[in-house]
Structure 1
């Protein structure tokens, strides 16, 4: 696609032939290339039209690409392990999707959108990040807590649920929502212990809660913390 360099701004445009129009019109929309519409003209004339309106185009690009309130920008914060951490958004136009890493107590976010990340794309990328971390973190804590409690699961897996944080199957496979990585260490341990207890008692009966109390004396406070996060156990 042709590009016109206006100072430090690269104006990339696409031309759309519209023989019904007597004149040429320029449209600038959020997240899209500049659109030049009108009668057929060679690229040299297209560039002349872009150059003539370059100042206006630059201003419009800055206006329409301003981050929305719900967008993630540098300075936003995101939850992880019971806290919220600083986000640094780094433009990465060559990427096809948002990539997130966590180092030195901050999220580094590579964004194909530029200096911001739209909320839906960030949510999906953060869940991918959680899923990757959950395999490592939950696996390690599960192995430790199995030794501590004497309770054993068949295995575990990371699975997205619509309305619950975790599950224990009939075959004692423990399943955890990737967003469990939002919880503090204590709350995470409680979720794991809760599901381990289901390997013995499948329902929430008196024996189940006695078993919970045996292995997690502060379970009531932690149970409230987990359920107040919007989903059930």
Structure 2
């Protein structure tokens, strides 16, 4: 699918011909490429249409790809990390200016100045920061490990938000990971890393690409199936 870089946001879109429409419409859904519908136009014209709405698309993507937290979090709620859900304790800490989230290896602890519950709007940035910090701490070392194991070399790893994917290998062979890969089990994260390392050699999902993945991870299909079932960006 075509891509458009708009500032720090990569917009991936799918074009759907709809001859019943007289103009073009853009739809943004959680975990999906942007949908552009309307009369037949060239890819260059599609890109121009996406660019016209890029600022709006960026704002909508930021909203819909937030973790789905529909209810207030209270003591006893569970939050996801490393393939497991962990008990969460919410403490009323009135001296704080803003809520804080910590992880104690066995539970999440949220200190909130508002009371013994925390609303989704306040929780989401705390989770995002937690996943980002853990990703920055752990992923580069795992990338180096798999570079040694496979002999494949990247140009480094960085953390960034994507529209509808867990990770990517850019044209310069820099590996990029959505911070929420830290929700996933360690063996699935390893599969994602090997998958992207294989893209340093084979840029597309060709037969040669999947043969290379299988060479380094013979049982890759099991992790791939887990990843396919995972709800992208679903944190709770």
Question: Which range, TM-score by smaller chain?
Answer: 0.5 to 0.7
Larger radius of gyration: 1
Larger CA deviation: 127-136 vs 93-102? 93-102
Aligned to 1:140: 141
For 1:19-34, list aligned pairs within 5 A: none
The alignment of Structure 1 onto Structure 2 pairs a total of residues equal to 165
How does the TM-score come out when normalised to structure 1?
Answer: 0.67
Residue 85 of structure 1 aligns to a residue whose secondary structure is strand
Deviation at 1:109, TM superposition (A): 1.1
Residue 153 of structure 1 aligns to a residue whose secondary structure is coil
Larger CA deviation: 86-95 vs 161-170? 86-95
> Per the alignment, do residues 69 and 140 of structure 1 end up closer, same or farther by CA in structure 2, a change over 3 Å counting?
closer
Deviation at 1:75, TM superposition (A): 0.6
Aligned to 2:130: 129
Residue deviations 1:67-91, cap 9 Å, x none? x971101110011001000001122
Aligned to 1:205: 206
For 1:113-192, list aligned pairs within 5 A: 113-192=114-193
Aligned to 2:31: none
Deviation at 1:226, TM superposition (A): 1.0
Return 5+ residue gaps in structure 2 as ranges. Answer: 1-68
Residue 78 of structure 1 aligns to a residue whose secondary structure is strand
How does the TM-score come out when normalised to structure 2?
Answer: 0.66
Distance 2:165 2:97 in 1: 31
Distance 2:143 2:231 in 1: 23
| Structure 1 outlier segments of 4+, above 4 Å | none
Return 5+ residue gaps in structure 1 as ranges. Answer: 1-67
Residue 91 of structure 2 aligns to a residue whose secondary structure is strand
Distance 2:96 2:207 in 1: 53
Distance 2:168 2:202 in 1: 13
> What is the CA RMSD across the aligned residues, in angstroms?
1.8
Residue 95 of structure 1 aligns to a residue whose secondary structure is coil
Aligned to 2:231: 230
Aligned to 1:93: 94
Q: 2:89 matched to 1:76? A: no
